[in-house]
Structure 1
Amino acid sequence: MNIDTARARLRPVSAMDIDDLVHLDSDPEVMRFVSGGTPTPRAVIEDWVVPRAESERRMYGTGTWVLCDPATDAFLGWASLRTPRHSRRPELELSYRIRRTVWGRGLATEAAFALMAFAFDHLDTERVFAGTVAGNMPSRRVMEKLGMTLSGIHVGEETVGAGMPTHPLHLGPDRYEVEYQILKTEWQRRSLRWSSASDLTA
């Protein structure tokens, strides 16, 4: 299923996107908060990333959507909804990754908003959550603009509630992860509206 936004088209990822995915993950700035700048091996994308996304789509109607320029079909990045493997809750994990050449245009927010609307309006989803390392402020701003709120802090194998300090004194901001969430009831109550493209920042 394709999903159109104001400035982009989201279509399900396929093997034809492997070259673009490899190129995206070869940018150390894009991968800074994902792997410390290390690129994702092509074999991982070919043998795990794309097949897993296609399996998600077949089983749950979720997966990964490639973000494209509607006029040129140029690859701009991707956004995904993933079903947690070890959760019994009706929830989905949101993630996104955008080419550095189009950072700051609000495309991550626009794509993520479209997938959240799809999750709550068309899938049996009660909660959408997303996570990143604490120092990744651009990604955290996207989550906040989507109406998500801080729901947990992950330090190693431990998870503490949102009532804990957002910056533990004994760790740097790249040493722990934060999780944001929005519930279906909150989504419906907020009825998020974009008044103009200038409201969106990645």
Structure 2
Amino acid sequence: MKMEDVYSKLPILETDRLSLRKISLDDLYDMHTYCSNEEVARYCTWTKHESLEDTEEFIRLILNKYELDQYALWGIEEKETGTLIGTIDFVSWQPKQQIAEIGYAISQVYWGRGIVTEASTAVIAYGFEEMDLVRIQAKCLIENVGSARVMEKVGMSYEGLIRKGLLVKDTHRDLKMYSILREEFEQII
């Protein structure tokens, strides 16, 4: 699949409990609920949203990137309630190398329920099956135990520590690196 096709035709991905879909302005209040939570922002590169205007600005940035075919970001919607509870995306993608990196954020209320594992499995399957990827990787701050656990549960292997690998909120932070290869994923699905 061509890069522009992935961005312009970003499909809705369905799982048992979730619908992964594009973000819209209708998601403003749901997104603000988790983006304004200090604990959620603690593990992300962005700072917590102080106002609805911060969240609206973020959504408009996402919508603009959709329009320019530059973004493969799904909103994580809980089917039962229709509530947007997080986001998941390919934070980087190297089509010629057939490598992408997955990233996610989810409302603290949903931590520990297997939601991100379920969403990640769907996105990883899409990456291998539709984007012709051979490797999908993910990184997390070393203290983000929950995120590391998600990576392990989807079959990723720990590759090592990236010392001061990311500048986050004015501080260089150490990261854990995980990855899964297409042939490994095919064995577990």
TM-score, structure 1 length as denominator?
0.73
Deviation per CA, 1:50-77: give whole Å up to 9, x if none.
Answer: 433x158x36xx6111111223311121
* AA of the residue aligned to 2:164: G
Change (3 A) 1:131 1:50: farther
Q: Cα offset for 1:22?
A: 3.2
Q: Summarize the Cα distance change of 1:82–1:55 in structure 2 as closer, same or farther, 3 Å threshold.
A: farther
Match of 2:22 among 12, 24, 45: 12
What SS does the aligned partner of 1:77 have? strand
Partner residue of 1:162?
none
Equivalent residues of 1:83, 1:92 under 8 A apart: yes
Match of 2:179 in 1: 181
Code of the residue aligned with 1:187 in structure 2: it is F
Gaps of 5+ in 2: 1-10, 167-171
Give the match's secondary structure for 1:34: coil
Tell me how far 1:6 sits from its aligned partner. Answer: 0.9
Q: Which amino acid aligns with 1:23?
A: T
| 1:67-86 map, 5 Å | 67-84=76-93
Pairing 1:31–2:28 present: no
**What is the distance in 2 between the residues matched to 1:129 and 1:51?**
26
User: 1:132 maps to what in 2?
Assistant: 140
Tell me, yes or no, if the aligned pair for 2:31 and 2:85 is still in contact at 8 Å: no
Given candidates 122, 144, 156, the residue that maps to 2:152 is: 144
What secondary structure sits across from 1:30 in the alignment? Answer: helix
Partner residue, 1:48: 61
AA aligned opposite 2:73: T
- The DSSP-based 3-state class of the residue aligned with 2:93 is coil
Q: RMSD of the alignment, in Å? A: 2.6
2: distance between equivalents of 1:65 and 1:155? 29
CA distance in 2, matches of 1:50, 1:156: 31
Alignment match, 1:161:
none
Matched position secondary structure for 2:121 = helix
Q: How many residues align?
A: 170
2:188 maps to: 191
Moved more, 69-78 or 108-117: 69-78
Q: Which amino acid aligns with 2:58?
A: I
Assess if the C-alpha contact under 8 Å between 1:148 and 1:182 holds in 2: yes
State the partner residue of 1:198.
none
Report the counterpart of residue 21 of structure 1 in structure 2: 31
Instruction: Supply the AA of the counterpart residue of 1:183.
Output: L
Distance 1:32 1:128, change over 3 A: same
